[in-house]
Copies of this chain bind each other. A is one copy, B any other.
Amino acid sequence: MANKKSQTTDGNDLRSLLRAKANVAMTDLDPGATPGFPGTSKADVADLTAELAPVLSDWQERLYAENKEPDTPQRSILVVLQGLDTSGKGGIIRHVFGLVDPQGLKIHAFKQPTPEELSHDFLWRIRQQLPSPGMIGIFDRSQYEDVLVVRVNELVEPAVWQQRYDLINDFEASLTASGTTIIKCFLNMSPDEQKRRLLERLENPTKYWKFSHGDVEVRGRWDDYMVAYQDVLNRCNTDVAPWYVIPSDRKWYRNWAVATLLLEHLEGMNPQWPQAEFVVEDEIAAVKNSLPQR
């Protein structure tokens, strides 16, 4: 039943359109753009999402089922969500990944490291949270925090964080080699849009809990974060684990884009339903003959 055709036009798939370009400057990226969106306005996104939902759900189940087949390579997906406060990491998990069976998801939000986590190398806690075969893993923040907040706040010496780009690339290469498809999304939001969203949280008592004064302090370091993200995009945008830059000032586009990127990757993986590991007719007879007394 899976509709194998994505909604974008041929040659205009989002994997190409949103892939971070080599040496592009952060300041040249438009957070309000809507590349590849096939509708004419926001009003179209509900219908497009309603079409995507059953297709994504079907592919997700195929990926999950595939790993039950003993002779098939064990595959998984890892979606990395990175972006400043209010850029939409949580919103994507709720609205995009909420479209598929929660049994197929492994979601982890990386917070400030615990003392135990700090006592290990920075990738130790990341490895604990990787998706098993058949699963879609979602990282709300990730290994990249160790070259972002850690760098901006000078939590370690420069010599320490500077070597991490290569370590991350090696780590991600080893993951993809062992069957994990990595989809890294940088949620690119403008400072004005962040201001609007922070004020929204402060004007709605049901959103107070999402706000802390630290958010204002991080916002004050905006330019430093952009420099740090620029280096992430320049140094960790590998062909095996590329970065996608998601224009995120429009929530509806952001969610549609991540859903569509996920769809394109699933289509590319093309997981198949496992064959029967039994003689179907024999099992049908066995079921029919079981509990004959009923």
CB within 8 Å of B: which residues of A? 65, 68-69, 90, 93-94, 97-98, 101-103, 105, 107, 109, 140, 191-192, 195, 198-199, 202-203, 205-206, 208-209, 211-213, 216, 219-220, 222, 273-278, 280, 283-284, 286-288, 290-291, 294
Contacts and interface: CB of A to CB of B under 8 A. Distances in A.
A68 B206 CA distance: 12
A273 B216 contact: no
A290 B102 contact: no
A277 B215 CA distance: 14
Contact of A103 (B94, B206, B208): B94
10 contacts: A93-B101, A93-B102, A94-B102, A97-B102, A102-B102, A195-B288, A202-B280, A205-B276, A219-B287, A219-B290
Contacts of A208: 273-277, 280
Given A102-B98, A105-B102, A209-B68, A219 B278 contact: no
A287 B212 CA distance: 11
A166 to B, nearest CB: 32
A119 B55 CA distance: 43
* Chain copies in the assembled complex: 2
Contacts of A213: 278, 283, 286
Contact of A195 (B195, B205, B283, B287): B287
Majority DSSP secondary structure for residues of A touching B: helix
A105 B93 CA distance: 12
Given A211-B276, A212-B278, 11 more contacts: A93-B102, A97-B102, A98-B102, A103-B107, A191-B291, A195-B291, A199-B287, A202-B287, A203-B284, A208-B277, A219-B291
Nearest to A292: B220
B209 A274 contact: yes
A197 to B, nearest CB: 10
Which of A93, A94, A283 has the most B CB atoms < 10 Å from its CB? A283
A58 to B, nearest CB: 9
A199 B102 contact: no
Most chain B Cβ neighbours within 10 Å, of A102, A105, A107, A291: A102
A94 B98 contact: no
Given A105-B102, A276-B208, A287 B90 contact: no
